[in-house]
Chains A and B, each alone.
Chain A
Amino acid sequence: MRIPCPCCGSRDRREFTYYGASVFLDRPAEDAGLEAWDAYLHLRDNPAGVTRDLWYHDPCQSWIEVERDTVTHAILSTAPVARRRA
């Protein structure tokens, strides 16, 4: 498996650490309530198809959001998570 790092280009998956669904990017407000926090922390889809998740490219220290297909294993897109704020 190879993942295109937005910084470094196509790299072997050995250089990456998997983190989980990209839901983690949408952090609720402190007072959003138990349900919102429960959903944020624990509720995950497990699609047969397109999914978005977070990977850390350890060598360059970029956190990236990867859009990929769990059926074909195709990587559809990658983007640095920082772009959402910068």
Chain B
Amino acid sequence: MASQTLQSVPAEPSPARHEQSLEDVARRDAEGQAYFDKVMAEDSRIEPRDWMPAAYRKTLLRQISQHAHSEIIGMQPEANWISRAPSLKRKAILMAKVQDEAGHGLYLYSAAETLGQPRDQMMQDLMDGKAKYSSIFNYPARTWADMGAIGWMVDGAAIANQVPLCRASFGPYGRAMVRVCKEESFHQRQGFEILLELSHGTPEQKQMAQEAVNRWYAPALMMFGPPDDDSPNSKQSMAWNIKRFSNDELRNRFVGMMMEQVKVLELTLPDKDIRFNEETKKWEHGPLDWDEFHEVLAGRGPCNAQRLERRREAHLEGAWVREAAAAYAEKQAKKQAEKVSVA
């Protein structure tokens, strides 16, 4: 994850004017740390203008902005199917879902901005390839059944990840996640419904559904991040009450849910090694190709270049709208000022 260091990080907020001496700054830091530690111990919340350790700010900024980018890039695999949705109902549903993803991106950019990073800078980092987003969105959505598999598995994994984030120690992040989670459950259900309809359709439709599930299974499991023994930042994030459960814990829980739900779909998961471990009382899955995960994350997945190119294109194509709105606002403000001065 070397390129993460390239991502722009805002300067620390400058201390208030009356604190000029080094002792004052040191005293403020000590008091701030003590208060921060108390908030963590009480499992309370940190708000944007509170003192916080520089590393806490940086970790949150990285996580929230990557999360926002994932929502924005995540619009693409599905937007791709809006014009080819099999019915008007499915088209309307897909449009609402893609619009939700845009909304989720904006909630998250807002939360990240409270840490001192302007949204435009984050977007620029994304377009410049300096920022990361979830590896899942670099896989292609080949058939209509992929809309089902994405909703059921990808959004399902996202929900499993996001529900505990509603209790993240940084207030704005937790609040954004509450809103996101409320909206996300329709996403998963509509995906499940697509697969259910296909699996009860013609043999060809059922096969299409099964193939989509086969394609998305492993990438969806990898959305929870690397295994615990290869996830160096997890421990600190858990100490800071940002993360509540480890990657493997959430992944195993998710596998258990999928195992039950796939029976209703009358489909199978492409993993012969799934089993419930009676000793640990946890679900276990077969080996995942973590080399592939790291390759995709490093920008060498099937659709990385295409996704970023499309994002840049959309940004450029929208430039005239932003310019027109700004020009109109300026003109109206001028008119308003003239009216006031005449009166």
The answer on A and B forming one complex is no
